[in-house]
Amino acid sequence: MSWTPKEPIVSVRDVHKRFGAVEVLKGVSFDVMKGEVICIIGPSGSGKSTLLRCINALVPIEQGSILVEGQEVHDPALDKLALRRKVGMVFQQYNLFPHKTALQNVMMAPLHVLKQDKAEVEARARRLIKKVRLEGKEDAYPGELSGGQQQRVAIARSLAMSPDVMLFDEVTAALDPETVKEVLVTIRELAAEGMTCLLVTHEMGFARELADHIYFTDRGVIVEHGPPAEFFANAKDPRTRQFLSQIL
């Protein structure tokens, strides 16, 4: 059962997830093809972050299945390292390692986890830092960088593992409007290079421009979805309409 790029790179089927008594995901299904950019939007608490965290097995699911490149993510026998090499994740709060410089943050996982050659890792890390437009900041500590700069280091850090899929969880939500742009430019470039991206975002303009498909979630279910043009022009569900009218 080997995966081919003709099949979805991420396939989510009827996923249920509860935290204690609260059912956060109540049967979510969708597919993402290689190279696609999908945006997940929805009100706070609707389970968007939880969904992304399920996809790279940071939290277990109760029911359903999630396949990444044909591999069941919640198979207990799954090699989590193999999965996490394929799936990179960037968080709202950047979550850089504060005791390491920008360059070291990018180099750490390939060195510690993949045990790759140091010189090669460093060369790659420097290229990535350049790619996210942070040349000259290699030796700065996270505490010495702005939010937007930290977030770009976090993106470079994920890319250093050469993932096939990137998950972005409201990566611009903690940034001021000026620096949002810097980060969006980086993501736009990644998408243009053919990286498969799953974005949770509140940047509707960005979603409209970049997404191949938009999913609107509310209270643990996908209420409505479609290509951006269609989705924004004629959303049918009242919940979607209300959400869009508030945010646009």
Ligand X SMILES: Nc1ncnc2c1ncn2[C@@H]1O[C@H](COP(=O)(O)OP(=O)(O)OP(=O)(O)O)[C@@H](O)[C@H]1O
Binding site for other proteins (CB under 8 A): 56, 58, 80-81, 84-85, 87-89, 91, 93, 95-99, 108-109, 112-114, 141-144, 154, 157-158, 161
141 vs 232 by CB, closer to other proteins: 141
Q: Which one of residues 46, 49, 158, 196 is an interface residue with Mg ion (CB under 5 A)?
A: 49
Interaction site with ligand X (CB under 6 A): 19, 24, 44-50, 170
Tokens of 3: 């995966």
CB of 72 to other proteins, least distance (A): 18
Q: Which range of residues in 15-23, 46-54, 106-114, 134-142 is near Mg ion by CB under 5 A?
A: 46-54
Q: For residue 222, what are the contacts with CB-CB under 8 A and spacing of at least 6?
A: 28, 29, 30, 215, 216
CB-CB contact of 169 with 48 (8 Å): yes
Least distance CB 135 / ligand X (angstroms): 32
Q: What does 141 interact with, of ligand X, Mg ion, other proteins, none (CB < 5 to 8 A by kind)?
A: other proteins
3-class DSSP state of 244: helix
Which of ligand X, Mg ion, other proteins, none lies near 46, with the C-beta cut-off 5 to 8 A by kind? ligand X
Q: Give the shortest CB-81-to-other proteins separation in angstroms.
A: 5
Residues 6 or more apart whose CB falls under 8 angstroms from that of 14 comprise: 27, 28, 29, 63, 64, 65
Helix (H) or strand (E) holding 247: helix 238-247
Name the minimum Å distance from CB 35 to other proteins: 22
Smallest distance from the beta carbon of 95 to ligand X, in angstroms?
14
Q: Please name every residue paired with 38 in a beta bridge, in sequence order, or none if there are none.
A: 198, 213
Q: What count of Cα atoms within 13 Å lies in the side-chain half-sphere of residue 82? A: 11
Nearer to other proteins among residue 96 and residue 223 (C-beta) = 96
Q: Does 172 bind Mg ion (CB under 5 A)?
A: no
Number of CB atoms found within 10 A of residue 215's CB:
22
Token pair 């750490």: residue: 108
